[in-house]
Structure 1
Amino acid sequence: MLAASDLAELIAFRHALHRQPEVSGHEAQTARAVLAFTADSQPDDRLTDLGGHGVALVYRGTTPGPTVLIRSELDALPIAELSDVPHRSQIPGTGHLCGHDGHSTILAGLARLLGRQRPASGRVVLLFQPAEEDGSGAAAVLADPRFAQITPDYAFALHNLPGLPLGHVVLEQGPANCASVGLKLALTGKTSHAAEPHKGISPAQALAQLIPGLMALGQGGALTPEFRMVTLTHAQMGAPAFGISPGHAEIWATLRTLTDAGMAALRAEALTLAQQIATAQGLTLDHSWHDDFAACTNDPVATGLFRAALMAEDIPLIAGDMPLRASEDFGRFGAAAHAAMAYFGAGEHTPALHNPDYDFPDALIAPGIRAFHRLIHTLLG
């Protein structure tokens, strides 16, 4: 296993990543840092610029066997870090406030172990995925023609989770994260003088109807298969002036369901409602979809293997409030492999994910490496 000196170098590596965060789609420097740090492990294959700035390191056994993919994320958030840690972000308005720097450090530690001893059989693929935060990264990796070279039989990931005891893990079979998607609606009519609003076509009434109408489509509640929630995130109308009756408005909403089938139905209903209201008011409607996350479901086979690895490493498993309303684009790998994601407690009193003062606990690096390394050993020897 890793020595104390290895862990010290890994912690320093995470701190270096933390200082230089890059948002989704712009992780070129982070990818270069990963490649430089893992170069000594001499992977048998390296895929770069995978689905954007993604990096895949491949370690081969000497006999045939399954392909096991372990995934982390490269990207940070467009949120200014408000922290006094020595390794705080040096990039204004950007911070590793979801812990992806820690997840990638865990994979870098795995690379070090695999460089010293390859699996007996099959292949290990360490995937440093781009653009998780906006939901585009996993889809882009899967759509990259080179992904066919590393198609996995099994896929595993972890995410840190504040609110759980440090180092304790929640891992349940079945739904793990909700599907979600952002919907932008643009309503276009015609401006007019504020003294003559009847000579224009204002979107005001449509906007006033859409706000409660969209919210009524999904009001949250228990996370049953029928769960659906619509969250309004932004609305604007017209120019900031008193002399103009507006001719344009936008409303943004996040749609959330427990299942992909539920999401398909909610999308259709939201668009139908918007079109009906726009037509009744004489407006043109345009729409676009953003931050598209599929539901994340833990496969029973992969979940059983992951739980066994955690138990073998004496990493405590606890019951948790699952599934999560938050989304996670790792779910897309479940279409190609037996896939499971575990949630590692980051501390009961740790700032929440996406808080401006969040910092990944370095104490999770070693157990994360141990859990994944045990999984690899179990499946590939």
Structure 2
Amino acid sequence: MFLTNHDVVELTAWRRKLHAMPEVSGDEVATAAEVQAFLAETAPDKVISGLGGTGVAAVFEGDEAGPTVLFRCELDALPIEEISDLPHRSRLPGKGHMCGHDGHTATVAALARGFAKQRPQRGRVVLMFQPAEETGAGAAAVIADERFAEIRPDYSFSLHNLPGLPLGHVWLKEGIANCASRGLKIMLTGKTAHASAPETGRSPMRAIASLISALTDLSGGSVAGGDFVLATVGHVHLGEPAFGIAPAYAELWVTLRTTTNDQMQALVDAAEGLAREAAERDGLALETSYHEIFSHCDNQPEAVTILRASLDAEGVTHEPGEALRASEDFGLFGTVSRSAMFYLGAGEKHPALHNPDYDYPDDLIPLGARIFMRTARDLLG
């Protein structure tokens, strides 16, 4: 074990410190500074800060030529109020680490301590602390940053904790690991009227009401069958908070999900078609926009084989598991390298991701770090 008991105690305390100071996507300034301060003690050969916004990459070089292996974690928290009596609960109202990115960060930071003691024999390791995963913007921004060329990996690996799976068990499968998704904002504009004479205006009320059910009815299929389609209405706004005005403006936000990127266009076309029909029927102006666009995450066979060997060597119970309906922007690293992500069980009765009472299981920090370190040593020595 490359981590001492003292290391684990310190990493646990540091994870809890991060948990108490959550920053949402794109605002991870203090979190990135904490990561850089932690890394300074391990003396990486190179640190790149401000990568893709607030991202941090630490590089540990081997003495011989070899591949570049990247291990990625996420810095951002969520705009969720934490409900907890924990001593390390969020100190920031309306923000919380309800997805476990604080634990993922501590896991990858643990590798820095290992490589400080013993560099890889060949090639190099990149520890990537990525911003803005929750909005789908982070991986794209990191890869688009011109400095990413300095650390472009041959292999990329990541993990995510998974409540509902027994603590410490792993799901790892080839192929689709996470679905594609994007947020569609539908904006409808008519004309206001006095509430006593709504017929003199053009209200988007009927259009919005019909779209809520019509969009939801697009859903169907299963991820396993490869025909998965899901439209989830998440937000609706209609008019002003006044009794005397028949409304002129409405917004509807809907998340579209499909198994793969290729299937997304058909769902987009169907959703936009429904919006056009509703707008034309009631004489409304229509605008649409897209937000938080996630590509599907595809675990590539060679990378999965490498991870399976690491799990076997570390005695970790694993099975193929299922592709998740949730999205994950790690899939973009698969466009520049051989990549795979595995899911690490947080406990069968653990609060679900994005629940207000969620907290990362600290026991997963050394376990995840062991799996990653085994992977690095197998590839690089």
TM bucket, shorter chain: over 0.9
Kindly provide the CA deviation profile for residues 7-64 of structure 1, in whole angstroms up to 9, marking residues without a partner as x: 1111111111111111111100000101101112111111101111100001111111
Residue number in structure 1 paired with 2:277: 276
In 1: Cα distance, 2:286 partner to 2:193 partner: 19
- Does residue 325 (structure 1) correspond to residue 330 (structure 2)? The answer is no
Residue number in structure 2 paired with 1:200: 201
- When structure 1 is superposed on structure 2, of 142-151 and 195-204 the one drifting more is 195-204
2:358 is paired with a residue of what secondary structure?
coil
In 2: Cα distance, 1:223 partner to 1:181 partner: 20
In 2: Cα distance, 1:42 partner to 1:111 partner: 9
- When structure 1 is superposed on structure 2, of 239-248 and 296-305 the one drifting more is 239-248
Residue number in structure 1 paired with 2:251: 250
Residue number in structure 2 paired with 1:378: 378
Residue number in structure 2 paired with 1:153: 154
In 2: Cα distance, 1:122 partner to 1:375 partner: 13
**Pairs aligned (count):** 380
Kindly provide the CA deviation profile for residues 231-287 of structure 1, in whole angstroms up to 9, marking residues without a partner as x: 111112112223222111111101010100111221122122212321232111111
Kindly provide the CA deviation profile for residues 304-328 of structure 1, in whole angstroms up to 9, marking residues without a partner as x: 10010111111111353x1111111
- Does residue 140 (structure 1) correspond to residue 146 (structure 2)? The answer is no
In 2: Cα distance, 1:16 partner to 1:280 partner: 54
In 2: Cα distance, 1:265 partner to 1:56 partner: 37
In 2: Cα distance, 1:222 partner to 1:177 partner: 9
How many Å apart are 1:195 and its aligned residue?
2.7
2:360 is paired with a residue of what secondary structure?
coil
How many Å apart are 1:194 and its aligned residue?
2.2
How many Å apart are 1:70 and its aligned residue?
0.3
How many Å apart are 1:208 and its aligned residue?
2.7
Q: Percent same amino acid at aligned positions?
A: 56
Residue number in structure 1 paired with 2:315: 314
In 2: Cα distance, 1:242 partner to 1:81 partner: 35
How many Å apart are 1:222 and its aligned residue?
5.1
- When structure 1 is superposed on structure 2, of 83-92 and 159-168 the one drifting more is 83-92
- The 1:318/1:225 distance shift into structure 2, 3 A limit, reads closer
How many Å apart are 1:221 and its aligned residue?
4.1
How many Å apart are 1:136 and its aligned residue?
1.0
1:167 is paired with a residue of what secondary structure?
coil
Task: Check the 8 A contact 2:23/2:31 in 1, yes or no.
Answer: yes
Aligned partner letter, 1:379: L
Aligned partner letter, 2:336: A
Kindly provide the CA deviation profile for residues 332-372 of structure 1, in whole angstroms up to 9, marking residues without a partner as x: 11111111001111111111111111111111111111111
1:41 is paired with a residue of what secondary structure?
coil
Residue number in structure 1 paired with 2:14: 13
- When structure 1 is superposed on structure 2, of 361-370 and 200-209 the one drifting more is 200-209
In 1: Cα distance, 2:222 partner to 2:171 partner: 22
How many Å apart are 1:220 and its aligned residue?
5.0
- Does residue 239 (structure 1) correspond to residue 240 (structure 2)? The answer is yes
Task: Check the 8 A contact 1:219/1:229 in 2, yes or no.
Answer: yes
In 1: Cα distance, 2:240 partner to 2:85 partner: 40
- The 1:85/1:242 distance shift into structure 2, 3 A limit, reads closer
Q: TM-score, normalised by structure 1?
A: 0.97
1:362 is paired with a residue of what secondary structure?
coil
Residue number in structure 2 paired with 1:219: 220
Aligned partner letter, 1:329: D
In 2: Cα distance, 1:287 partner to 1:372 partner: 42
Residue number in structure 2 paired with 1:285: 286
Residue number in structure 2 paired with 1:58: 59
In 2: Cα distance, 1:93 partner to 1:212 partner: 30
Matches within 5 A, 1:67-216: 67-216=68-217
2:217 is paired with a residue of what secondary structure?
helix
Aligned partner letter, 1:315: V
2:365 is paired with a residue of what secondary structure?
helix
| Cα RMSD for the two superposed structures | 1.3
Task: Check the 8 A contact 2:69/2:376 in 1, yes or no.
Answer: yes
- When structure 1 is superposed on structure 2, of 247-256 and 230-239 the one drifting more is 230-239
Q: Unpaired segments of 5 or more residues in structure 1? A: none
- When structure 1 is superposed on structure 2, of 310-319 and 43-52 the one drifting more is 310-319
In 1: Cα distance, 2:237 partner to 2:3 partner: 54
In 1: Cα distance, 2:221 partner to 2:36 partner: 42
Aligned partner letter, 2:194: H
How many Å apart are 1:298 and its aligned residue?
0.6
Q: Unpaired segments of 5 or more residues in structure 2? A: none
- When structure 1 is superposed on structure 2, of 35-44 and 206-215 the one drifting more is 206-215
In 2: Cα distance, 1:204 partner to 1:96 partner: 37
How many Å apart are 1:79 and its aligned residue?
1.0
Aligned partner letter, 1:109: A
Task: Check the 8 A contact 1:219/1:230 in 2, yes or no.
Answer: no
Residue number in structure 2 paired with 1:32: 33
Task: Check the 8 A contact 2:311/2:318 in 1, yes or no.
Answer: yes
Task: Check the 8 A contact 1:233/1:254 in 2, yes or no.
Answer: yes
Aligned partner letter, 1:328: E
- When structure 1 is superposed on structure 2, of 218-227 and 281-290 the one drifting more is 218-227
Q: TM-score, normalised by structure 2?
A: 0.97
Task: Check the 8 A contact 1:224/1:258 in 2, yes or no.
Answer: no
In 1: Cα distance, 2:256 partner to 2:174 partner: 24
In 1: Cα distance, 2:127 partner to 2:327 partner: 22
- When structure 1 is superposed on structure 2, of 85-94 and 157-166 the one drifting more is 85-94
